[in-house]
Structure 1
């Protein structure tokens, strides 16, 4: 009888144990058992095995040019917050892809804006988070006075993280052979003369990346106004005319720079053309370093020197150049992990982004280690650059800067008209008249 009682008691214990184990395993609807809840309550609600928070950052720089190393460094140091980098091409299609991803609720926690107009549109669409809610990081103090150019309606909807110099890259050996010094202050008329002297029998003397192509106009109108005192278009400013005439003459008479039609239809790879030694001067931004440090794909046998972008205005005291700060990184207003994204953004801005310098992106924060960035920028190719001119355009040039803020619609309409001029489809007067008329229409529609 005692033996039977022991058997019954043992069976009952087995049933009880089985029930407990089943309870610990959860049930079909995904809710934890009361036993698990009681255990959680007893240890203050902490999870015993917490999964890392996962963030996604979208940017336009190829992963191998710095972003992946940045992400790997963060992920190694922060096992509780893991980040994935997604590259989009910084063109119309690529920016549309990013916007679509955010609007449709795909994984985007942080994203890079490359123009203030892009950032403004995303803010107006409710996609960029107002960063004024965070009070532990003073963007103006960290980044300096140029940061204010990125404010939208008086607030920051992102952090401008990089110094963004634009310059004329020059073949130093070609300059020396022609007896030409590396300029520190010059005009477009002087660049035109350089191009004549550097032009070979079967080559151009000067080419341009299309992104900064129109910067000379904006360097003037960003200061004097895109509209006149009466509210009408200022696209007939005399220096707009001078820019058009100068380039058209270089294309068609001097034959020192490619006709615009040729450059657009051939999709000329201007970086490759410059780095191969075919053309000795290139108007571009700091992203050139991404390619010029890559001797595998872009082998070269010459030293690169750097000059500021020339001015249209007569006096250097009146000149501003495009540059200042860039790579305006925003947090998606719809992100479920805004606090974690903010912690990453602060870390990135204050030095975590140092590997980005390999692609020409220097950290803007006063607390970033510039020596680390410079070492990353030059790598083992230091002796292939003219360091004096590089340091000047990257760090020492005190020319005031502007950030292009013109609405995309105006940029498009003026490009459509000046392309007709360069293609020979309309005269200079017709071009100016058309730009002004279309700009005035835009202004009236957006009063």
Structure 2
């Protein structure tokens, strides 16, 4: 995995040199965008017949995008939207980055992490949206939107609320006399997993995307460096979380060994829904599969709990949250004004069919009740424990964080804790190496 990440970064660093002409075009285009929105759109449509917009995203077409495309095309007969799916992993993001740089038609695309957006801004393939004055994400999405600003500007519009949680087999907890947690620590999670693994193959499965969130939750609160500039990657609670996870893998056998999960590309969602595990640490994209009873039938109710914290005090806990699914416009698009119309339409309600896959709209212009109906469907009370779901969706703790750690730091961190989980270095070496390499990165950036 490390090689794939580094190859993607190398591609983007090299591509910056190729983007100088694109960046120049962006600067030139900013003055044009400041003019009349209607005039810009009229210029694009005049004498050209129907235009085509191409949107790239990471969600399977059948899980919402197809319905979005149909709704847009029905209401905008002069602008045909086409959706291209890329898988949101290292290879998929490299595929998108290559298309952005190679001149393929990519008018709009979704970014699923801050580091991806930042790299694309640096590569000159994300349009500065400050030239548009008819839509303000700060107003429409609220204060959480600002986490996606880069140097005070938006290069994409965040469109959905982020939700991260632990999905629970409610009947499994009831059989083990374990209550649905309202608030808990990773030590308590370990105890739950140990008990549940007596009956299930695994007490806990984790999606690898939010796997390291406990580290960022802690360091968002205490700071990634101390007052003297020393990295806090060697914080005692970081070490405690790593130790806890390895003990769950190797001693308790209540969660998969990291190497096994990595090499097998374990489909944790399907494993949880098939009844192989009693708990799953994941995000709102679980609904995409959990609502699909045809392909993923199950005979249990899903309940929900917050992600455990490392700290003992609830008041000290900063969970992951904020907004996501940031939609950007390629500055070399021939249809920038039309693309901007789509961004506003999508954010303010066009995205509602995406809610069936858990994508809850962030804009105040979208109907939240309709989104909830999409999420629950007709079988909602049968499929889900509604009380615990509403606590997760509507009882969100603030402040929260959007992961904004630079990609090289994410990479070095993963590389080091992979060695620990694979048994090739000690805990002390791991946190020491993470801290040292983090400080080297910070030094190189100065």
TM-score by length of 2: 0.88
* Cα deviation digits, residues 223-277 of structure 1 (max 9, x gap): 2222222223211111111111111111112211111112112221111110011
Q: 2:133 aligns with which of 106, 131, 135?
A: 135
Equivalent in the alignment of 1:372: 370
Aligned partner of 1:417 in structure 2 is: 416
**2:158 is the counterpart of 1:160:** yes
Is 1:436 matched with 2:435? yes
Cα distance change of structure 1 residues 139 and 300 upon mapping to structure 2, 3 Å threshold: same
Q: d(CA) in 2 for partners of 1:164 and 1:415?
A: 23
Quick check: 50-59 or 356-365, which moved more? 50-59
Indicate the residue corresponding to 1:445 in structure 2.
444
Cα distance in 1 for partners of 2:327, 2:149 equals 12
| Residue in structure 2 matched with residue 288 of structure 1 by the alignment | 286
Report the Cα offset of residue 200 of structure 1: 2.3
What is the aligned partner in structure 1 of residue 261 from structure 2? 263
Give how far 1:202 is off: 6.0
Alignment of 1:310-325 (within 5 A): 310-325=308-323
Is 1:342 matched with 2:336?
no
Q: Secondary structure at the match of 1:368?
A: coil
Name the SS for the 2:392 alignment partner.
Answer: helix
- Aligned position for 1:304: 302
The answer to whether the 8 Å contact 2:200/2:276 transfers is no
Residue equivalent to 1:76: 74
Q: In the TM superposition, what are the counterparts of 1:79-118 in structure 2 within 5 Å?
A: 79-118=77-116
C-alpha distance in structure 2 between counterparts of 1:363 and 1:158, whole Å: 15
Structure-2 separation of matches of 1:307 and 1:223: 21
> Are the equivalent residues in 1 in contact too, given 2:54–2:108 (CA < 8 A)?
yes
CA distance in 1, matches of 2:237, 2:200: 31
Q: Which has more radius of gyration?
A: 1
The residue matched to 1:280 in structure 2 has which SS?
A: strand
User: In the TM superposition, what are the counterparts of 1:7-156 in structure 2 within 5 Å?
Assistant: 50-156=48-154
Q: Is the 1:319–1:399 Cα contact (8 Å) retained in structure 2?
A: no
Indicate the RMSD between aligned Cα atoms, in angstroms.
1.6
Partner SS, residue 252 of structure 1: helix
Tell me what 2:406 maps to: 407
Change in CA separation of 1:47 and 1:285 when aligned onto 2, cut-off 3 Å = closer
Residue in 1 that maps onto 2:233: 235
TM-score by length of 1: 0.88
Q: C-alpha separation between the residues in 1 aligned to 2:281 and 2:324? A: 18
1:241-260 to 2 correspondences below 5 Å: 241-260=239-258
Alpha-carbon distance in 1 for matches of 2:44, 2:103:
29
Q: Distance in 2 between matches of 1:306 and 1:428?
A: 32
Gaps of 5+ in 1: 1-44
- Partner deviation per Cα, 1:157-211 (whole Å, 9 max, x = no partner): 1111001100000000001111111112111111111112211256111110111
1:183 — aligned with what? 181
> Could you tell me how far apart the structure 1 residues matched to 2:46 and 2:338 are?
20
